[in-house]
């Protein structure tokens, strides 16, 4: 019968156990192999979402290192955050995951508040150290462009960080004199790589954009600290209506070379009063949440000469009739602008006029039909009705006299409809009943309705 040496057996067991423990310790300190992370002894390759999350994590490391004041503006990510069902489902998942920053798209977009950040040239080297390729797109600074100086310095407008097939797009937001944020068009220079990113699928850059300053909150998304707009649905609504048109300074300078600007004291005084009236009207309508745009002569002045036409003697605004509120008149009167006249009614040809300080404010309400839109006019002494017909248009933002305001995006069509093909030639004698090429007779108000539809004060 075999005899076992208890001491030898014990030594053998201790040696075996030690080898096994050393093997486990080695692998516990080597969590990632060349192929991917080890989980419970099996190799798992990084999924697309995991890879994108790693890219975003590296980008956020750059953000923190260089104190870049960025916040999430990606429409897909914010769309998920605005869905209560997605937030609830995400809260029930316990294991690590990427829900909001990995949106099945190869681009994620942030905005950078330029006024809170000083450009650091070391960013490029730091990005390259982390493996990123960086494309910086610059353009002219519109805040420095004027009719006296059309050159403008170039400023950073967009940064694109690319790694492992994923792109982080950073849109640079600048403060404008109208107290709003602006970003420029993403326009590639001839020597730039047009395949660097899926440019046609970017959320931002096809057009310039204008935004009110959002209130931001710091939150944790997919394990990363990220700032987001507090009012997500409000920001997404702004995004859908953010297109911005710059004043055409070059054309305005050409106009003034043909028709020198009126710098008389009377003209300067009118411009000052018109600016004050426009700012006041904008504040009132914004508080009422009634969208408006520059119309008639005020729109022509912005488009043709980047300013107010001094001989127009009034300020003209347009409002969709669907946005009419019954307390509009009361709000203007409360602000010190008495009602001068009210023509028409909500159902047909409504027009309001308020008296400012030596400057009149005309508000025209626009009605939509199948193929056209129109606003009405009424002759007080005869009750005759007129209709001014325009092609359909959308609305864009612009800046006039230090104020962010809307104008028709299709401005040439709008102005041409109202003033004809010679709109670029000043006309100081103008009959509102017959001069506009888009005016049409629209009948006569029944006498029994005059007390309602013709009110002059």
pLDDT digits (tens, 9 = 90+) for 397-418: 999 999 999 999 999 999 999 9
Q: Same structural domain for residues 209 and 276?
A: no
DSSP character at residue 37: B
CB-based burial of residue 89 (10 Å sphere; 0-12 exposed, 13-18 middle, 19+ buried)? exposed
What pLDDT was estimated at residue 357? 86
One domain for residues 224 and 253: no
- Shared domain check, 53 and 172: yes
Residue 200, helix vs strand vs coil: helix
Measuring CA to CA, which residue among 236, 244, 176, 237 is closest to residue 206? Answer: 244
Residues 236 and 261 both lie in one domain? no
**pLDDT at residue number 313:** 86
299-353 pLDDT, tens digit each:
999 999 999 999 988 999 999 999 999 999 999 999 999 999 999 999 999 999 9
Q: Is residue 3 part of a domain?
A: no
State whether 364 and 328 are in the same domain. Answer: yes
Among 212, 241, 270, give the residue marking a domain's end: 241
| Other beta carbons less than 10 A from residue 69's beta carbon | 15
Model-level pTM? 0.86
Cβ 77 vs Cβ 49: under 8 Å: no
Tell me: the pLDDT tens digits for 58-74?
Answer: 999 999 999 999 999 99
Same domain, 62 and 211: yes
| pLDDT tens readout for residues 263-310 | 999 999 999 999 999 999 999 999 999 999 999 999 999 999 999 999
Give me the half-sphere count of Cα atoms (radius 13 Å) on the Cβ side of residue 61.
13
Residues 146 and 256 in one domain: no
CB 312 within 8 A of CB 298: yes
What mean pLDDT, rounded, does the chain reach? 88
Left (φ > 0), alpha (ψ -120 to 50) or beta: where does 443 sit?
left
151 and 262 in one domain? no
Does some domain include residue 356? yes
Domain count, the chain: 2
Pair (231, 277) in one structural domain: no
Q: CB-hemisphere CA count at 13 Å for 377?
A: 16
Give tens-digit pLDDT for 225-266. Answer: 999 999 999 999 999 999 999 999 999 999 999 999 999 999
Residue 168 lies in a domain: yes
Contact predicate 185/142, CB 8 Å: no
- Can you tell me the distance from the alpha carbon of 81 to that of 141, in angstroms, rounded to the nearest whole number? 33
The dihedrals phi and psi of 430, each to the nearest 5 degrees, come to: -140, 125
Shared-domain flag, residues 284 and 197: no
15-41 per-position pLDDT tens digit: 665 555 454 444 433 333 333 332 222
pLDDT at position 321: 98
Residue 371 belongs to a domain:
yes
Which has the higher per-residue pLDDT, 411 or 118?
411
The residues, any chain, with a CB within 8 Å of residue 209's CB and separated by 6 or more, are 182, 183, 239, 242, 243, 244, 397
Please tell me the predicted confidence (pLDDT) of residue 35.
34
Please check the confidence at residue 45 and state whether its pLDDT lies above 50. no
Provide the pLDDT for residue 29: 38
Could you say which of 241, 272, 306 is where a domain stops?
A: 241
What is the DSSP code (8-state) at residue 214? P
- The DSSP call for residue 383 is -
How far apart CA 295 and CA 324 sit, in angstroms, is 16
Q: For residue 314, which of 336, 299, 297 has the smallest C-alpha distance?
A: 297
The conformation of residue 32, written as its DSSP 8-state character, comes to B
Three-point CA angle 275, 277, 283, nearest 5°: 105
> What domain range is 164 assigned to?
48-83+96-241
Cα separation, 281 vs 401, in Å, equals: 13
Are residues 153 and 218 both part of a single domain? yes
Q: What is the CATH number of the domain that holds 237?
A: 3.30.460
DSSP category for residue 48:
H
CA distance 457 to 455: 7
Residue 189 predicted with pLDDT over 60 = yes
Predicted pLDDT of residue 145:
80
Indicate the residue among 241, 266, 290 that finishes a domain: 241
CA-to-CA distance for 406 and 294, rounded, in angstroms?
6
136 domain-assigned: yes
**13, part of any domain:** no
Q: Does any domain span residue 20?
A: no
Residues 69 and 206 in one domain: yes
At residue 11 the predicted structure's pLDDT band, cuts being 50, 70 and 90, is low
pLDDT at 200 over 70: yes
Q: Is 12 part of any domain?
A: no
């Amino acid at each position: 019968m075999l005899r076992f040496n208890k001491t030898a057996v014990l030594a053998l067991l201790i040696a075996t156990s030690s080898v096994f423990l050393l093997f486990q310790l080695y692998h516990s300190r080597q969590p990632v192999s060349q192929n991917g992370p080890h989980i419970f002894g099996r190799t798992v390759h990084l999924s697309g979402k995991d890879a994108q999350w790693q890219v975003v994590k590296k980008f956020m490391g750059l953000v923190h290192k260089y104190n870049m004041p960025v916040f999430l503006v990606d429409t897909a990510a914010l769309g998920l955050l605005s869905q209560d069902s997605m937030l609830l489902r995400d809260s029930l998942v316990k294991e690590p995951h990427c829900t909001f920053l990995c949106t099945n798209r190869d681009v994620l977009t942030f905005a950078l508040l330029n006024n809170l950040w000083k450009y650091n040239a070391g960013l490029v080297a730091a990005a390259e150290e982390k493996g990123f390729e960086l494309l910086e797109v610059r353009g002219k600074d519109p805040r420095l462009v004027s009719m006296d100086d059309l050159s403008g310095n170039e400023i950073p407008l967009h940064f694109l960080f690319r790694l492992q097939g994923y792109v982080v797009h950073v849109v640079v937001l600048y403060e404008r004199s109208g107290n709003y944020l602006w970003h420029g068009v993403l326009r590639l220079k001839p020597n730039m790589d047009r395949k660097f990113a899926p440019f046609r699928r970017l959320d931002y850059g096809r057009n310039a954009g204008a935004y009110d300053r959002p209130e931001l909150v710091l939150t944790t998304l997919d394990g990363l600290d990220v700032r987001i707009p507090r009012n997500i649905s409000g920001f997404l609504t702004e995004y859908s209506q953010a297109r911005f048109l710059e004043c055409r300074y070059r054309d305005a300078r050409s106009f003034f070379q043909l028709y020198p600007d009126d710098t008389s004291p009377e003209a300067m005084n009118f411009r000052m009063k018109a600016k004050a009236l426009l700012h006041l009207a904008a504040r009132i309508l914004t508080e009422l949440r009634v969208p408006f745009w520059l119309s008639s002569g005020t729109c022509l002045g912005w488009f043709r000469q980047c300013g107010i036409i001094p001989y127009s003697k009034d300020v003209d605004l347009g409002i969709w009739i669907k946005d009419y509120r019954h307390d509009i008149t009361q709000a203007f009167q409360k602000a010190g602008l008495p009602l001068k006249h009210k023509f028409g009614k909500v159902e047909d040809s409504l027009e309001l006029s308020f008296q400012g300080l030596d400057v009149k404010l005309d508000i025209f309400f626009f009605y939509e039909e199948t193929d056209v839109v129109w606003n009405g006019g009424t002759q007080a002494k005869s009750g005759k009705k007129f209709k001014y017909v325009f092609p359909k248009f959308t609305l864009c933002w612009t800046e006039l006299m230090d104020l962010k305001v809307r104008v028709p995006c299709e401005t040439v069509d709008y102005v041409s409809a109202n003033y004809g093909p010679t709109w670029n030639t000043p006309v100081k004698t103008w009959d509102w009943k017959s001069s506009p090429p888009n005016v049409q007779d629209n009948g006569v108000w029944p006498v029994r309705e005059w007390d309602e539809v013709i009110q002059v004060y």
